[in-house]
Amino acid sequence: MFTNMLIFAAILPGPEVKGLPVPTENNRQYTYKCNALASWYATLLLVAILHLTGIIRLTILADQFGSVLCVAVICSDILSVIIHFYAIHTKQTCRMTHSPIYDFFMGVWLNPRIKILGQEVDLKMLAEVRLSWLLLFLLIIPAALKQYEAFHTISWPMIFILTAQLLYINACMKGEECIPTTWDIFYEKWGWMLIYWNLAGVPFVYAFHAYYILVNSLRTHKPVEDTSTIFIIILFIVLFLAYYIWDSSLSQKIRFRMQEQGTYISRNAFPQVPWNVIKNPKYLKTECGSSLLVDGYFKYCRKPQYTADICMAMCWALSCYQWAGILPYFYPSFFIGMIVHRYTRDMARCAAKYGEDWKIYCTKVPYAFFPGLI
């Protein structure tokens, strides 16, 4: 899979987008070939051919879930060691500290790139946008196929979690051109934390709900009993509403930045939700040069995308309602904790960067997550 993604990244068509200037490299702007959507479609076709022809039955991944997880963990650790010492050996380190453990954990290489078929491929971008989400896809589809193989039907909770996560995966692929200007790509180095999270954390933590539904349906031999149609319909309604707000608000924010920097490109990848770009947006000009968006969703609260993301995470957990247990709620609990930490980090960073302008912004947009409440 890793080899396929490297080749796809090198040869498939896609728009080229410039990232933010990198201060530690004389404000160099790296170019990113955003062909994740083409890679996604190519992977769908390849996987369908392999499964339908019987060359590789996808259900083997469900049968060997534990083994695949162990391989992912081991490969993440090995790759982290290789990347760490390669960056040191080739003198491509950045912002080193006096703690070797911290440097290994957080990384020492900011822009890890290698040549594939004559093309530069950014490994950090590849892992964040493609490997993590495509591996998730290759885990959840086998769970549904395994349930169908056992019962000749796929339960509504399984259909729900597949819908929810395929929407999420597709959104990451279709919006790849928005990623190069994000904090992860611009500032965070590619160390054990990001490598492990992208290759072992995201796919297996996110796939948990599909396997919780699968394992319990196999254990009880009741995949469709005790399913409340009304509850599932409510979950779908909340999911689609939350997804719409999440997708459109993220698009508004990032494309506002891209318009400001002159890197905005219009794309028509499915689905392009309404109100994803604000025409003539209102913004607060700051003394440091950049602008703060105070229009669209962002005139009501500062982090609407976080609220929508939390709602989707809760929907994922609630899809497992047929079986009592707290494990499905690990992900939303972890996610809320991460969001709170990220929010406090962002607030401190923005206060230091914008100074008095940040106080003015917080006066204009006083709510963080939900207008009128918090």
Q: Are 302 and 365 in contact (CB under 8 A)?
A: yes
**Angle (CA) 149 150 156, round 5°:** 85
pLDDT at 278: 93
Q: Are 161 and 213 in contact (CB under 8 A)?
A: yes
| Phi, psi (degrees; rounded to nearest 5) at 109 | -110, 115
pLDDT at 324: 84
Q: How many residues does the chain have?
A: 374
Residue with tokens 């396997």: 211
Using 70 as the pLDDT threshold, list the residues of the chain that sit under it.
Answer: none
CA–CA gap between residue 255 and residue 186 (Å, rounded) = 16
pLDDT at 232: 95
pLDDT at 226: 73
pLDDT at 265: 82
Report the 3 state secondary structure along 240-253: HHHHHHHHHHHHHH
CA–CA gap between residue 153 and residue 163 (Å, rounded) = 16
Q: Are 319 and 332 in contact (CB under 8 A)?
A: no
Q: In the structure encoding, which two tokens stand for residue 61, read together?
A: 């991944």
What three-state secondary structure class fits 47?
helix
CA–CA gap between residue 32 and residue 273 (Å, rounded) = 24
Residue with tokens 């790849």: 176
CA–CA gap between residue 102 and residue 151 (Å, rounded) = 49
